[in-house]
Structure 1
Amino acid sequence: MNKIRGKSRPVLRLLISVSVVVIVASGISVAVYGGYLAKRIEKRFAGRRWNIPSTVYSDTTLLYPGQAVNRPFLYEKLRRLGYNEVSRSPLQKGQMHRQAGFIDIFLHDFTSPFFEQTGFAVRVRFRHDHITTIARIENDQAVPILELEPEELMRFYGPNRERRQLISIDRVPRYLIHAVLAAEDSGFYHHHGVDFAGILRALITNLRKGTISQGGSTLTQQLAKNYFLTPERTYRRKLRELLIALVLEYKYDKNEILEIYLNEIYWGQRGSVSINGVGEASLFYFGKPVERLSIGEAATLAGLIKAPNTYSPYVNKSRCLKRRNEVLAAMRQNDWLTDAQLNAALPRPVKPAGYTADHRRAPYFMDYLTRQMADLYPPDVLSSLGLSIFTTLDTQVQMAAEQALARGLARLEAARPALKRKKPGEKLQGAVIVIQPKTGYILAMVGGRNYGISQFNRATQARRQPGSAFKPLVYVTALDQFTPADHLSNTPRTYSVDGKAWRPKNYDAHAPGEVTLRQALAKSYNLASVNLGIKVGLQSIVDTARAFGLSTTVKPLPSLSLGTFEVIPLELARAYCVFAANGMLPFPLAIKEVMDDSNQMLDQHHASVKRLISPAKAYIMNDLLRSVTTEGTAAAMKSMGVNWPAAGKTGTTNNARDAWFIGYTPDILALVWVGFDGGGSIHSTGSRAALPIWADLMKAIPQYISGEWFTMPSGVVRQTICTDSGQIAVKNACPRIREEIFLETNVPLKPCPIHRKRFPFKHFLNKIKKLFRHD
């Protein structure tokens, strides 16, 4: 027996020695690994903790007394901005209340590139479709201009596609913190990152079930898992989670850990995009910032953490309600709620704000803007630095443009069923561009009928023949040599083009053989326009086209005046802006300002214009193009409900492959194109296919229609002329006269040669007739 004991002592000593070595080695390993983790955590937290996608916003919306408004569009805009409609005042922030003659709005707080606005309550009064007054509700103080915050249009997501709005712990209400702790870790402020009793309970449960179904994780461990580790369920990962939690608690205080947790945690799904952080979750589920959450709403959010897509109020309200009540009960159990607060919260239903799937609005405009942003910032910056990009887009104009195009194309197909195509890629298409001519701000852009089917942007990428829509560039070139009263030949003639005979013709086969320049443009006579182009000089017209910003190849051929080459619609719209902007060519702008995540200005894009023609020449062109809408090819505009002065030009190409209308007022310009991508005939003209869409759009945006016309500048002279000769009318002699405008350098100086010689005899006859007239 003693021999056995003697032999066992060396073995025991060996085992103890090995155990000590293992324990020491393990301790050293843990210490080394802990040091490694500490450096890794410190480095991660010292830098940018999250990749925040940059956000694209629309322009702000201005409201002011006297402004015409489309009230249904305004109410819809307020709903998109997150204003909840309530049945009565007084209001809380983010609420609105409508009555027959007014609307009360309690504005949100928001930061623009130039000022920060603290929300206040206002009453906007209407009479018919005009704003009469705007005043603060608290003191009835008049508000001369009310600015509504911009709408979010898109975010530049990285590969993780996460929406996250960072908040500081100071902004989080105490009852929301208590709700989260009641749901996830009621002992958070009492442990050091790990709840060993909880881990032991979970371990026993897992051993019984034979799977890892419980983790016993503290809030700190959840942060370690979500922020540093993969979601795999293994004991090895669990050990790493435990060590990271201990290091986190050692290096950071509780509130900092809680703040990082609240900004990191996953809170659900919006389409293909995940909702992360309590700031984003509050907006997604309840349409309000965390400061304005009720106790019940806070408990609802806290209850979602366990399984966001299981307890989501958008998925199952009854399950969500049950989970919320469990959290409320846990809050009461921890003395974080009084009985009165609990009893007040329990009966209330769960009422989520509602949402649409996360998708880009104004998608063709967004594609255009994305290409511009790519020239300014690399993709990783846009997807990680949380920039705020403010654009020129007016969402009301964009919606009106999309709706007008959809209705217009549907009308055309209904009127002519042969235009309908079964294959989505072959359907009748269209494009709409709306620009502020004096600034170049792009207010709306529709590049096609359905972005989901075709992402090809016909507004910026298509090359189509402009047809007669090009004629204004011919006529503006001619104003150096011709006047609106000059007569042009409108008779058929054969031209040689590349060795082949070319014989153009008028759309109207019964057009007169001679017309004035004004009539030729108003009625869009092809023969007169070709004749004018040759007299002016084809190369001069080519030079004008290039100066006006058309980048496509334009050759000095006789057919040039009829727009037989290709143009990009946005460039053609820009060219027309020269007339509407009193002779200035603007640069099309989609981006106004870019701010960083600290609201510091990074980029600011101002309107950029250059003078191309004199204000006098622009005024004459505006007057000529107004004749198109009053007595020419777009005269049907009035019957479509356009009862304000406007200028514009229709365009139709050979075989009716393209239909155009570009129309404008002093404040706004819109281009409409209709056609098939494949070039098939639409069997219609610009006045029948494109003009109704333009009129429909304009009527929907009354805030841009002042009803005013251009002021006549210096350098323009009015003169009464004889329409038969184009010269100064002889009083009581010329039978057909009209008031015409001229450049002061090109005014008719001679009296009418046709009727001047006959004046004395005619005057004598008129006197004789008066003597014998019996009244």
Structure 2
Amino acid sequence: MLIAGGLALALYGVQLDEVVREKFEGQRWALPARVYARPLELYVGRPITREALIGELERLKYRRSAEVERAGSFDVDDDRILVRTRAFRFWDGAEPEQRIAIRIADGLVTDMRSGDNGRDLALVRLDPALIASIYPTHNEDRVLLSRQQLPPMLIKTLLAVEDRRFYQHHGIDPKGILRAAYENLLAGRTVQGASTLTQQLVKNFYLTQERTLERKAKEAYMAVLLDRRYSKEEILTAYANEVYLGQDGSRGIHGFGLASRFYFDRDLDELGVPQVALLVAVLKGPGEYNPRRHPEKATERRNLVIDLMAYHQVISAEEAEAAKAAPLGIEEGGARPSGDYPAFIQLVRRQLQRDYRDADLRSEGLRIFTTLDPLMQTQTEAAIGERMPKLDAQRGLPAGTLETAAVVTSVSQGEVLALVGGRKTDYAGFNRALDAVRSVGSAIKPVIYLTALARPERFSLLTPIADRPISLRVGTQLWTPQNYNRRVHGNVPLYRALAKSYNLATINLGLQVGIDEVASMLKRLGAVRPIQVVPSMLLGSVSLPPIELAQVYQSIAAGGFRAPLRAIREVLNADGQPLNRYPLAVEPVVSSDAAYLTQWAMRKVVEEGTATWLKQRLPEGMQVAGKTGTTNEMRDSWFAGFSSDRVAVVWVGRDDNKPMGLTGSSGALRVWGDIMAEIDSQPLSDEIPNSIELADACGQRDIPFSRGHAGATTCGGGGDSDSEPRGDDAAPKRPQDRQDTQPQPAPPPPRERQEPRNTSPFMSDFYGN
């Protein structure tokens, strides 16, 4: 019987050993994907204010400290900002922890040196902000740490309190078992446990929490097997990452790395004696000693741990007294990203779904580096938050009636830097920047003029365009569009027709170049939604979401090169190895000459057309280009424009699609100007491409022409005689007078036409082809 029992026990041990190995050596945990913002890069000459840098450090949870000794701390000393950065592994290498001294004057970094040896530093990247996590379906979360990342003080405290003979026993501690049995016998109840760290790991990692002798025996057997097969350091590291330390709603808090962020909103290596003691104290009962619910019991238990730390010489007696006098220091909202950027995260997730299964995002511990600029996002949100109540009041509407959306991108990289999906920027509901498909009004007009200027043999900026009445047969009805102010202006130079947003001139130009050609140009610039090829599209009956209009203007701003907008830079696996890169992809879609001439005409929109308000709102010398857009009965207000390095698109309207009484220039333009006045942006350059020349024409000086231009430069009369701009955004007499975006009656069904397949790795995944 003994032999048979021993054989059965040995066979059972073989089975358990296989279970131990399979899970311990395989994927041990389902890890959430971590989503990061762009890292702030600092270098001499970078535009940034002291306030903006301090705000960035505070968003990254850096703490003010006069000593600046710990990673994640900073101090302001006269004209210097001293920072102890955190070490961080990026997709292209590791950024070390270092102490830097930064001087900022007149909004620029003027000096940057090592705070340790005074050496000049060329470039420093701060660790990026964690802006979201995509959690496993069972809502476990943890921050994995290696053995080297576990602070020595934590390990010493953990062993002193939970398992002083950890390095001597072999998974179970017979002496500890006898000692606990004796103490429990004397007390007449269970007052002391004898489970080793190895047994606790087995219970949490392999078994259930049931209290039975069978489960306890199985736990001890597996602990011996685990100790025999793996090193003490491996077991200790696994325990530190697995142990349960609290609950955040439906999400379990596992491991010291995550618990440090959950309770203190700080990385584990930034904790002091009181915080380390509290984490070890919570181990005894995360519910009973929850410092948020039971601060008195948690403080009592923490102070007992501090006494044990002093007794086992982990800390000095003086440190112990100071630590016991310290508050618990619990931070609200720790560990979980605050959800400040839900609209942008929706954009990221849509792009990720092209390359990754949802299960991978929830379990593989991917590290996703995005293009979000938190500083620019904050400035954009602030501008919207300040302007929108004024627009409500301006129209006498109840507060919160008007809605908005905004997209800000970089011209050269095609990166989405900021994105706002509505007035409630922290609301994760309907995302107007991605999904509000609204008529764009006159914001489509630059596409028409670009289509014309792409034919230099026929059109130049001074080509006369007839701003005269026109009637078109649409089905059985007659379409007779009008200018916004119901006036006609005769022959006007092409650039002025765009600057003043003349409807009749635009229609006549569009018919000359061909509606099909305009639709094709819109597709080439980046629009991916189906387009109704009807005359009314020339006045903006095309419906697009703001993100798609931003793609169109991006291509114009980039000189005729389309760079599909992207929200992700890199994706790494849990080990920090690159999985996928989202590099800049550029495709020429229209001649650079035509793009430049269109940009020049769009500057005139700001200088003398429908967007002259910007001249008083933007800093002096800030040259920008853009176009207003207003739809029938003032249901939609748009402004889309760019500087030399930023593209921004703003929409304002009502979710119920009712008229709101705001034009492009009195609504969206104001929000756009507030945003551009705050964000880091460079003016458009006055440098002229070699392929463009300036010429006098018709009494007007310095009008740019393509050197390949072969057409006549005949200037018509009938220029705009109004003293104020009266394009599509002049104040109307009556809302019902608007007839610039859609024909009345409705146009016939669109003709079927073959559109080129859009290969954008970003847009095509939203809308198909």
**Scaled by the length of structure 2, what TM-score is found?**
0.86
Query: AA paired with 1:631?
Result: E
Pair 449,501 (structure 1): closer, same or farther in 2 beyond 3 Å: same
Report the Cα distance in structure 1 between the residues aligned to 2:6 and 2:250, rounded to whole angstroms: 45
Query: AA paired with 1:118?
Result: P
Report the Cα distance in structure 1 between the residues aligned to 2:152 and 2:57, rounded to whole angstroms: 30
Report the Cα distance in structure 2 between the residues aligned to 1:265 and 1:412, rounded to whole angstroms: 53
RMSD: 2.8
Map of 2:429 onto structure 1? 455
Aligned: 1:38 with 2:17: yes
Equivalent positions of 1:293-304 (< 5 A) are 293-304=271-282
Aligned: 1:586 with 2:563: yes
Does structure 1 conserve the Cα–Cα contact (< 8 Å) formed by 2:370 and 2:569? yes
Does structure 2 conserve the Cα–Cα contact (< 8 Å) formed by 1:388 and 1:594? yes
Aligned: 1:381 with 2:324: no
Map of 2:763 onto structure 1? none
Structure 1 residue 302 displacement after superposition:
0.9
Query: Once the two structures are superposed, what CA deviation does each residue of 1:558-588 show, in whole Å capped at 9, x if it has no partner?
Result: 2221011222322221111122111101111
Query: AA paired with 1:364?
Result: A
Query: AA paired with 2:432?
Result: R
Does structure 1 conserve the Cα–Cα contact (< 8 Å) formed by 2:135 and 2:362? yes
Q: Which secondary structure state, in structure 1, belongs to the residue aligned with residue 353 of structure 2?
A: helix
Structure 1 residue 666 displacement after superposition:
1.4
Structure 1 residue 684 displacement after superposition:
0.5
Map of 1:153 onto structure 2? 131
Report the Cα distance in structure 2 between the residues aligned to 1:511 and 1:68, rounded to whole angstroms: 47
Report the Cα distance in structure 2 between the residues aligned to 1:313 and 1:574, rounded to whole angstroms: 49
Pair 414,233 (structure 1): closer, same or farther in 2 beyond 3 Å: farther
Map of 1:495 onto structure 2? 472
Identity of aligned residues (%): 33
Does structure 2 conserve the Cα–Cα contact (< 8 Å) formed by 1:55 and 1:154? yes
Query: AA paired with 2:555?
Result: V
Structure number having the greater helix percentage? 1
Does structure 1 conserve the Cα–Cα contact (< 8 Å) formed by 2:562 and 2:587? yes
Query: AA paired with 2:682?
Result: S
Q: 1:639 aligns with which of 612, 616, 626?
A: 616
Equivalent positions of 1:115-514 (< 5 A) are 115-192=93-170, 193-194=172-173, 195-197=176-178, 200=181, 216-270=194-248, 272-315=250-293, 317-343=295-321, 345-352=323-330, 355-356=333-334, 358-418=337-397, 420=399, 427-450=401-424, 455-479=429-453, 480=455, 481-510=458-487, 512-514=489-491
Higher RCO by CA contacts (8 Å cutoff, separation 6 or greater)? 2
Query: AA paired with 1:468?
Result: S
Structure 1 residue 156 displacement after superposition:
2.1
Report the Cα distance in structure 1 between the residues aligned to 2:549 and 2:687, rounded to whole angstroms: 24
Query: AA paired with 2:695?
Result: Q
Report the Cα distance in structure 2 between the residues aligned to 1:524 and 1:484, rounded to whole angstroms: 14
Which sits farther off after the overlay, 91-100 or 616-625? 91-100
Q: Which secondary structure state, in structure 2, belongs to the residue aligned with residue 650 of structure 1?
A: strand
Report the Cα distance in structure 2 between the residues aligned to 1:750 and 1:409, rounded to whole angstroms: 45
Aligned: 1:558 with 2:521: no
Query: AA paired with 1:441?
Result: E
Structure 1 residue 299 displacement after superposition:
1.7
Map of 1:699 onto structure 2? 677
Does structure 2 conserve the Cα–Cα contact (< 8 Å) formed by 1:57 and 1:391? yes
Map of 2:735 onto structure 1? none
Map of 1:625 onto structure 2? 602
Query: AA paired with 1:294?
Result: G
Pair 199,371 (structure 1): closer, same or farther in 2 beyond 3 Å: farther
Does structure 1 conserve the Cα–Cα contact (< 8 Å) formed by 2:500 and 2:610? yes
Structure 1 residue 432 displacement after superposition:
1.0
Q: Which secondary structure state, in structure 2, belongs to the residue aligned with residue 685 of structure 1?
A: coil
Equivalent positions of 1:66-105 (< 5 A) are 66-86=45-65, 88-89=66-67, 91-105=69-83
Structure 1 residue 610 displacement after superposition:
0.8
Does structure 2 conserve the Cα–Cα contact (< 8 Å) formed by 1:58 and 1:391? yes
Map of 1:717 onto structure 2? 693
Report the Cα distance in structure 2 between the residues aligned to 1:619 and 1:696, rounded to whole angstroms: 26
Q: Which secondary structure state, in structure 2, belongs to the residue aligned with residue 602 of structure 1?
A: strand
Report the Cα distance in structure 1 between the residues aligned to 2:265 and 2:194, rounded to whole angstroms: 33
Which sits farther off after the overlay, 240-249 or 479-488? 240-249
Does structure 1 conserve the Cα–Cα contact (< 8 Å) formed by 2:376 and 2:418? yes
Report the Cα distance in structure 2 between the residues aligned to 1:753 and 1:57, rounded to whole angstroms: 56
Query: AA paired with 2:423?
Result: R
Report the Cα distance in structure 2 between the residues aligned to 1:510 and 1:419, rounded to whole angstroms: 35
Does structure 2 conserve the Cα–Cα contact (< 8 Å) formed by 1:412 and 1:419? no
Map of 1:6 onto structure 2? none
| Greater gyration radius | 1
Structure 1 residue 467 displacement after superposition:
0.6
Structure 1 residue 297 displacement after superposition:
2.9
Aligned: 1:742 with 2:719: no
Which sits farther off after the overlay, 352-361 or 293-302? 352-361
Query: Once the two structures are superposed, what CA deviation does each residue of 1:85-132 show, in whole Å capped at 9, x if it has no partner?
Result: 12x345432211124533111111111111212122222212232322
Give 5+ residue unaligned stretches, structure 2.
Answer: 718-769
Map of 1:47 onto structure 2? 26
Equivalent positions of 1:729-768 (< 5 A) are 729=699, 737-746=700-709
**Scaled by the length of structure 1, what TM-score is found?**
0.85
Which sits farther off after the overlay, 169-178 or 605-614? 169-178
Structure 1 residue 465 displacement after superposition:
0.9
